[in-house]
């Protein structure tokens, strides 16, 4: 009976986290609050611990302000993560609301879409939810690991735009940003994320390395079974075509690029490596690891990945 009472109490506690305060929330919108909303917008979905990591702030302080921003309707907590298991205690993901988007338009001069936010909160199912939250988790961990090592700097798309690395008249936005879409002879390819490692110790022109990230949850077949269907082979063919056309140089001004697949299993990695081998593609342009290995690794920079030949390699060195 003790376990049952505990489970019911924990279930009620988690359910309460999806209900806003009945009292009028008192929240002062300052730079800190705007930075939190901005971080959530940039990564699509973030938990309070993620936000603390991104902003390098104390977790307790972030947790308190995130709750205030949620109560004041600047942030949403999609109900699709309201797990029915009463013992489920994982952190809650947030996304921005229409009110939060309007604040970013005013304070950051972002061209943010005006709709499509608030309806997410009530949805019991959101397309690509597991994919997008796993991608956010990976990117936050990568940013944290690079910061801890201290030798390199991780640049995300908005950093590249701010520093003039990317020349684009299109303001940054997390969905379908033009510089992230490459039209190749094999069709359009859009990576799940793009990051750049900046090495301050190397000369200009040799101090940037580009990494395109594919968070693969096993929903696409390795081989194409229908001419119009998507597949990992088709995706790899597009990346090879993009590299041969020098699209990485035209867009980001770098001489090289690599594509990192973070996927579900070693067996799936082996299937992808077989595709690269059969195509005769340059194996050094591809990296592979599993979602589990990436999540459990003390550091993504010291994690042993596999290249397109199945040989060990690393994110920032061969």
Contact 122, 77 (CB under 8 A): no
pLDDT (0 to 100) of residue 110: 84
The residue behind tokens 């907590």 is 77
Q: Of 70, 215, 196, which is closest to residue 133 (Cα–Cα)? A: 215
Helix (H) or strand (E) holding 119: helix 119-122
Domain 2-122 falls under CATH 2.40.110.20: no
Parse the chain into domains and list their residue ranges. Answer: 2-122, 138-313
- Can you tell me the distance from the alpha carbon of 110 to that of 173, in angstroms, rounded to the nearest whole number? 8
Closest CA relative to residue 195, chosen from 264, 244, 259: 259
Nearest of 199, 196, 211, 195 to residue 151 by alpha carbon? 199
Q: Give the separation between CA 307 and CA 299, rounded to whole angstroms.
A: 18
* 100 token code pair: 């939060």
Q: Indicate the pTM of the whole model.
A: 0.91
Phi, psi dihedrals of residue 154, rounded to the nearest 5°: -95, 125
Q: What is the DSSP letter of 309?
A: T
Q: Averaged in consecutive runs of 10 residues, what is the pLDDT profile of the chain (318 residues)?
A: 48 67 82 97 95 97 95 92 66 94 91 80 80 95 96 93 82 75 94 95 90 94 76 95 96 94 97 96 97 97 97 88
* Dist. CA 67–CA 59, nearest whole Å: 12
**For position 6, what pLDDT does the model report?**
44
Question: What beta strand segments (E) does 8-145 contain?
Answer: 75-76, 95-96
pLDDT at site 87: 53
Q: In sequence order, which residues have a C-beta less than 8 Å from that of residue 30 and are 6 or more positions away?
A: none
User: φ, ψ for residue 153 (rounded to 5)?
Assistant: -125, 135
What pLDDT does residue 260 have? 98
Residue 164 in tokens: 């003039």
Give the count of beta carbons closer than 10 Å to the beta carbon of residue 238: 19
Per-residue pLDDT, 178: 81
Residues whose CB falls within 8 Å of the CB of residue 303, separated by 6 or more in sequence, listed in order: 289, 293, 294, 297, 314, 315
Residues 259, 210: Cα–Cα separation, whole Å: 9
pLDDT of amino acid 175: 66
4-24: burial string, b at 16+ Cβ within 10 Å, e else: eeeeeeebeebeeeeeeeeee
Provide the token pair at 136: 């956010």
- How many C-beta neighbours within 10 Å does residue 205 have? 9
Question: How many angstroms separate the CA atoms of 315 and 258, rounded?
Answer: 9
**Phi, psi for 270 (deg, rounded to 5):** -60, -35
Residues 6+ apart with CB under 8 A from 115: 98
Query: How many whole angstroms separate alpha carbon 318 and alpha carbon 298?
Result: 19
């Amino acid at each position: 009976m003790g376990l049952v009472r505990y489970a019911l109490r924990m279930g009620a506690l988690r359910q309460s986290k999806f209900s806003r305060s009945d009292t009028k929330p008192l929240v002062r919108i300052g730079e800190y609050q705007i930075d939190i909303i901005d971080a959530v917008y940039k990564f699509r979905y973030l938990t309070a611990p993620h936000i603390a990591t991104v902003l390098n702030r104390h977790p307790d302080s972030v947790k308190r302000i995130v709750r205030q921003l949620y109560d004041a309707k600047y942030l949403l907590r999609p109900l699709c993560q309201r797990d029915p298991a009463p013992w489920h205690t994982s952190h809650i993901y947030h996304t921005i609301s229409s009110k939060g988007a309007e604040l970013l338009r005013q304070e950051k001069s972002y061209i943010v879409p005006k709709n499509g936010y608030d309806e997410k909160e009530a949805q019991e199912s959101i397309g690509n939810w597991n994919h997008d939250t796993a991608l956010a988790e990976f990117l936050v961990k990568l940013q944290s690991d690079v910061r801890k090592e201290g030798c390199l700097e991780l640049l995300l798309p908005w950093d590249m735009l701010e520093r003039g690395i990317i020349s684009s008249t299109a303001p940054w936005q997390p969905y379908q940003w033009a510089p992230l879409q490459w039209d190749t002879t094999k069709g359009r390819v859009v990576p799940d994320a793009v990051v750049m490692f900046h090495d301050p110790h190397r000369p200009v022109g040799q101090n940037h390395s580009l990494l395109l990230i594919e968070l693969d949850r096993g929903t696409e077949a390795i081989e194409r079974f229908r001419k119009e269907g998507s597949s990992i082979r088709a995706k790899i063919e597009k990346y090879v075509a993009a590299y041969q056309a020098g699209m990485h140089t035209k867009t980001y001004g770098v001489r090289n690029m690599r594509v990192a697949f973070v996927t579900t299993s070693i067996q799936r990695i082996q299937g992808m490596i077989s595709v690269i081998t059969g195509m005769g593609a340059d194996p050094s342009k591809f990296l592979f690891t599993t979602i589990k290995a990436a999540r459990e690794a003390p550091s993504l920079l010291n994690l042993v990945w596999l290249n397109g030949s199945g040989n060990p390699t690393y994110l920032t060195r061969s």
